[in-house]
Amino acid sequence: MPLDHGPSPLRPPPIRATSSYRRVEIMSPIDNDVHPVIHTGRVAVITGAAGGIGKAAAIELAKVGLKIALADINEEALTTAGKEVTAIAGDGNVLVIPADVSKIDEVVRLRDKVYEAWGEVAVLMNNAAIAPPSKSWDDLDNWRRTFEVNLFGVVNVQQTFVRSMLHQENQAIVINTGSKQGITNPPGNPAYNASKAAVKSLTEGLAHELRENPSCNVTAHLFVPGWTHTGLTAPQGGEKPAGAWTAEETVQYMLDGVRHGDFYIICPDNETTRDLDQLRITWAASDVVEGRPALSRWHKDWKPLYEEYVREGLTGME
CA 89 remoteness from chain centre: 22
For residues 25 and 68, give the distance between their C-alpha atoms in angstroms, rounded to a whole number: 25
Main-chain dihedrals φ then ψ at residue 135, nearest 5 degrees: -130, 160
What is the three-class DSSP state of 44?
A: strand
Torsion of CA 26, 94, 57, 59, to 10 degrees: 110
Is 192 among the residues known to form the active site? yes
Per the CB < 8 A criterion, the answer to whether 150 and 44 are in contact is no
List the chain domain ranges.
43-233+242-269, 273-317
pTM of structure? 0.88
Confidence band of 56 (pLDDT split at 50, 70, 90) = very high
Give the DSSP letter string of 190-227: HHHHHHHHHHHHHHHHHHHHHHH-TT--EEEEEEE--S
User: C-alpha angle 131/133/136, rounded to 5°?
Assistant: 115
The confidence score (pLDDT) of residue 256 equals 95
What is the average per-residue pLDDT within 115-125?
Answer: 98
Q: Using pLDDT thresholds of 50, 70 and 90, give the confidence band for residue 232.
A: low
Which of 21, 115, 192, 264 does the annotation list as catalytic?
192
CA-CA-CA-CA torsion sign (266, 8, 121, 103):
positive
**43-233+242-269 has which fold?**
Rossmann fold (3.40.50)
* pLDDT of amino acid 276: 98
Average pLDDT of the chain, as a whole number? 89
Q: What is the pLDDT of residue 240?
A: 84
72-113 tens-digit pLDDT: 999 999 999 999 999 999 999 999 999 999 999 999 999 999
For residue 30, pLDDT over 50 is answered with no
Element (H, E) at 59: helix 52-64
Please say whether the beta carbons of 38 and 258 come within 8 A.
Answer: yes
Does the pLDDT value for residue 173 go beyond 70? yes
Nearest to 123 by CA among 177, 80, 79, 81: 177
Q: Where are the alpha helices (DSSP H) in the chain?
A: 23-26, 52-64, 75-89, 104-118, 140-150, 152-165, 190-212, 247-259, 274-290, 303-317
